[in-house]
Structure 1
Amino acid sequence: MSEQHNDQFETRLEKLQKVQEKGYQPYLTSFDRKDEVQAILTLDPGTYSDTMKLAVAGRIRAKRMMGKAGFLQIEDDTGRMQFYVRRDDEGIDFDIVKALDLGDIVGLTGFPFLTQTGEKTIHATSVVLLAKCLRPLPVVKEADGKVFDAFTNKEQRYRMRYVDLIVNPEVRQTFILRSRIIAYVRSFLQNEGYLEVETPMMQTIPGGATARPFVTHHNALDMQLFLRIAPELYLKRLLVGGFPKVFEVNRNFRNEGISYKHNPEFTMLEVYQAYGSMNSMMELCERLVTGACMEVHGTLKIPYGDETIDLTAPWERLGYFESIEKFGKVTLDAGMDRKMAIDAAVAAGHAAHLFKECRSVWDVADVLFDETVEPNLIQPVMITKYPKEISPLARSNPEDPRFVDRFEPYVAGREIGNAFSELNDPFDQKARFQEQVALREAGDEEGGYMDLDYVRALEYGMPPAGGMGIGIDRLVMLLTNSHSIRDTILFPLMRPEEGEADD
């Protein structure tokens, strides 16, 4: 905390103590808030009367005192409005009013009138301090509403989201839209006949994705557990059990890096359809995303950064290796070994150091895709024909078993989901698990585990199925024109500030 903020904190604390010395309780238990600012602002001035009784609560965002009277600007969750306060009015404790600071939460009653300049205002008949704001709010530019001062620091805004929400209405709007998007997703799937379910967040075997898990311990059972990296294997167990369509909006945890598009704790939608396939999921994906876009924007052409994204279906289809050849100018083949793949990439002009950690042609392809393909996938596209080696849970393509029936939707330069025709052959699945275990034993921390119970479930018979995961945070990024995933998560994971506990 800066020296200036320390001084202001002490000044506000002194005001609080003086109020308490007068016998006033500055932290009340409730207030009968009957009216919202926006509803009052829509009233016809012709209906105004001094017999109207309005009750509003909110934060003080501006204060102007002029001798025996003054004006307070109050903000609630619907908007801002001006209040007029006069010393001589019965029911007004003017000393309390003068002691109020910007940011204080107050409750006011009164009646509406128009000022000489025509501004809609409420003449206050009572003012009650509901909660004292001891720390000064960041200064806000009046011209465009953007924060300056120390609060331009994005890290601080993420750490102190409660302050960010107070001073930046556009941030509140992002999370209002997030709620609407998730509500739409649930409603859409329920109308399609999908059942919403819940699956374990603590698992004995982390599965359903390739990722490094968080590890915890259950004391009573004295056993190691993992926070889930995906709910997939549990949801598919439900297909075995007879549910034809299931979905879950779930929190996942992956012990990996943090970036503008990755947070260790994130929200996913996973959906599974018995007797479906990659193709049914592709069609479902397009309808769900375009429907969510129409729900919050009313159009399928939306701004994202400097681009205009057109989500109109159908989206382009492009093969995985085809995309690398198109954007990376490298022709790869599933039959190549590591050296052949690296030589082909270097011959096409790519720096050799990019591939020093690669162990196979698939690793080389993954690097080339991240470096050359992904940034160019601005308009929506379905990337298809993924190699079997990097798709341990997807069904092999019957025409070319080296590849699987899988797609990933990309928009605005990033993947927003993953889907495929599900593998329901227990023998093939067990062999895929064994390959993942071998990778783990060779030192790959993201290598998968053997889940014999899931294999046993498949041995009871799982119908052919389509499955899909969509990153809710990334979908919200797209539909709210947010560059960073942290802008769509209320409380993203942050490294603690030095001395934070003492501040």
Structure 2
Amino acid sequence: MDSYSSFENGMQLNEYQRLRLDKVKKFRELGIDPYPPRFLQRTHSVAEVLQNFEALQKDDHADPPVPGVLVGVSGRLMLKRDKKVVFGDLIEDGNRIQIYLKDAHLEAGEQSLLLFKDSVDLGDIIGVVGKPFITKTGDKTIEVHQWNILSKAINQPPDKHAGLQDTEQRYRQRYVDLISNPEVRDVFVKRSRIISAMRSYLDRQGFLEVETPTLQPLYGGASARPFVTHHNALDQNFYMRIADELYLKRLVAGGFGKVYEICKDFRNEGIDVRHNPEFTMMECYAAYWDYNDVMKLVEEMFAYIAQEVLGTLKVQTRGYEVDFTPPYRRLQLRQAIIDYTGLDYEQYPEQEDLYREVKKLGVDVAPDTVWPKLVDETLKTFVIPKLIQPTFLYDYPEKLSPLAKKKPGVAGTVERFQPFIAGLECGNAFTELNDPVDQRERFLDQKRNQDAGDDEAMQMDLDFINALMYGMPPTGGLGVGIDRLCMLLLDQASIRDVILFPQMRNL
């Protein structure tokens, strides 16, 4: 069995795929490599031709006629109209230009035109050499003198009008999604620009970008279940990081004044429209700041990103017009829950009592849910969906925030805030806890929560406490979910719509 037959049988090709595979063989029989290593005649990108069209184009109607410049471009053929002549649309990197093939213009004449008609299909990647001109209908076009097959597509692209509609297939085969749905490509171009704008803003504020371990001997910095892996050389288990907070604060203790990291975090938890097990976070820490300084940074940074990427501070998202113009509304968390539910959690310091009250409100929680999670679930159920314009909820219960500094004069409360926009949480920030004795007690509280059934509680990290024992200055810290921010700025309903390759169950 030859390699083509083996491929056809092994891949279980359908009729259309077999027809295209036959064209691959036809090219080879003609001595043409349907997958050449390069296109030497390429002189311009499609974007460059479009940008410089007037200088490149030929114009037979000018007096005297303008001969035009011979250009070589390449791209994917996404539209083909076969008559006596051939028109097609060539797309490269999101830019589209029309091509025009006529036997009188082609160097190989009618034979070249017939081969193009018979053997080049939609989805094929081709290179053309020709002269730019404008048709009678005003379309920027390349008059093709020579063409080359660069990659013969065996799969048909989706219908040019309907695109790729099946949501699960879009996530599983993002490459097809990008080929057929130009608006999806735009989302990911803008996602990249959002990250670049964030990095630019932080760099200008004097933050130093650093890298911390993805594999960690202890997981910490957030309340989440980790992924576990085994390190063969060290013969011990490691954890995929759930946050980089504790390592970044080690750096502040070591003398770095302002640090940040944009990285992947991993949490072994549920998947829904707001959560993906692998996600992108930005965390930054600044010595001698507190959570008030960080609030100012967040509203300035979000406004800067919106203006840089979208050109406006008023963004249509999730059915609302959101104004990113600073300053943002500030609302104490305790007061927010009272306003929206009538419940004052400080009146119920015992788990059993608070559980009884939140159940009366209709919060869906199990009887053994620990006190901090009862507050958090009440917040998620009744308050967050109502926070449409950018809002900072601040001053959280100490039990809900094991890494935040206590608020002076307010027992049981820490200096923490979270930004909420259009009913979506998109960050977390503290005045950081730098007292090693207090930090150890918080870790012990987390251990008690873990023993009580909270499988997302933090572990005791003695090395981090040791770092604090060397002295960490007063510090403000922030974590921003990049994926959530992209959902907001780009008006995407699901986190999977802003992640190129989201996790999916095997078929």
- With structure 1 as the length reference, what TM-score do the two structures score? 0.92
Separation in 2, partners of 1:450, 1:307: 43
The aligned amino acid for 2:86 is G
2:115 is matched with 96
Separation in 2, partners of 1:110, 1:182: 38
The answer to whether 1:474 aligns with 2:484 is yes
2:211 is matched with 198
1:57 is matched with 74
Q: Identity of counterpart residues, as a percentage?
A: 44
The answer to whether 1:225 aligns with 2:238 is yes
Secondary structure, aligned partner of 2:438: helix
The aligned amino acid for 1:446 is E
Separation in 2, partners of 1:164, 1:46: 33
The answer to whether 1:443 aligns with 2:453 is yes
1:500 is matched with none
Alpha-carbon spacing, 1:415–1:118, altered in 2? closer, same or farther (3 Å): closer
Q: Any idea what the Cα deviations from partners look like across 1:5-61, whole Å, max 9, x if unmatched?
A: 822111111111111111110001112432233443352389524451111100101
Alignment of 1:40-439 (within 5 A): 40-42=49-51, 43-44=53-54, 48=58, 49-67=66-84, 69-88=85-104, 89-91=106-108, 93-98=112-117, 99-141=119-161, 147=163, 151-333=164-346, 335-347=348-360, 350-351=361-362, 354-439=364-449
Separation in 2, partners of 1:140, 1:122: 21
After TM superposition, give the deviation of residue 116 of structure 1 in Å: 3.4
Most deviating of 478-487 and 202-211: 478-487
Q: Is the 8 A contact 2:406 2:412 kept in 1?
A: yes
Q: Any idea what the Cα deviations from partners look like across 1:412-437, whole Å, max 9, x if unmatched?
A: 11110000100000001011111112
The aligned amino acid for 1:87 is D
Separation in 2, partners of 1:442, 1:46: 73
Secondary structure, aligned partner of 2:454: coil
After TM superposition, give the deviation of residue 392 of structure 1 in Å: 0.4
Q: Is the 8 A contact 1:334 1:361 kept in 2?
A: no
Q: Is the 8 A contact 1:36 1:78 kept in 2?
A: no
Separation in 2, partners of 1:357, 1:164: 44
Q: Is the 8 A contact 2:130 2:145 kept in 1?
A: yes
1:493 is matched with 503
Alpha-carbon spacing, 1:433–1:343, altered in 2? closer, same or farther (3 Å): closer
Alpha-carbon spacing, 1:37–1:90, altered in 2? closer, same or farther (3 Å): same
Q: Is the 8 A contact 2:274 2:484 kept in 1?
A: yes
After TM superposition, give the deviation of residue 139 of structure 1 in Å: 0.7
Secondary structure, aligned partner of 1:430: helix
1:501 is matched with none
Alpha-carbon spacing, 1:346–1:473, altered in 2? closer, same or farther (3 Å): closer
Separation in 2, partners of 1:358, 1:374: 24
Alpha-carbon spacing, 1:253–1:46, altered in 2? closer, same or farther (3 Å): closer
Separation in 2, partners of 1:378, 1:367: 19
Separation in 1, partners of 2:326, 2:136: 54
2:19 is matched with 11
Q: Is the 8 A contact 1:50 1:112 kept in 2?
A: no
Which stretches in structure 1 are left out of the alignment for 5+ residues? 498-503
Alpha-carbon spacing, 1:118–1:418, altered in 2? closer, same or farther (3 Å): closer
Separation in 2, partners of 1:200, 1:271: 15
The aligned amino acid for 1:66 is K
1:34 is matched with 43
1:458 is matched with 468
Q: Is the 8 A contact 2:57 2:133 kept in 1?
A: no
Secondary structure, aligned partner of 2:14: helix
Secondary structure, aligned partner of 2:346: coil
Separation in 1, partners of 2:310, 2:335: 33
Q: Any idea what the Cα deviations from partners look like across 1:296-351, whole Å, max 9, x if unmatched?
A: 1222111003210011111111111211122223232164323332443455xx23
Which stretches in structure 2 are left out of the alignment for 5+ residues? 1-11, 59-65
Alpha-carbon spacing, 1:46–1:188, altered in 2? closer, same or farther (3 Å): closer
Over aligned residue pairs, what C-alpha RMSD do you find? 2.0
Alpha-carbon spacing, 1:200–1:46, altered in 2? closer, same or farther (3 Å): closer
The aligned amino acid for 1:426 is P
Alpha-carbon spacing, 1:5–1:312, altered in 2? closer, same or farther (3 Å): farther
Q: Is the 8 A contact 1:5 1:136 kept in 2?
A: no
Q: Any idea what the Cα deviations from partners look like across 1:425-457, whole Å, max 9, x if unmatched?
A: 000101111111222233321121111111111
Separation in 2, partners of 1:10, 1:31: 26
Separation in 2, partners of 1:175, 1:272: 28
The answer to whether 1:22 aligns with 2:30 is yes
Separation in 2, partners of 1:357, 1:264: 27
- With structure 2 as the length reference, what TM-score do the two structures score? 0.92
Secondary structure, aligned partner of 1:83: strand
The aligned amino acid for 2:376 is D
Separation in 2, partners of 1:135, 1:411: 42
Separation in 2, partners of 1:279, 1:136: 55
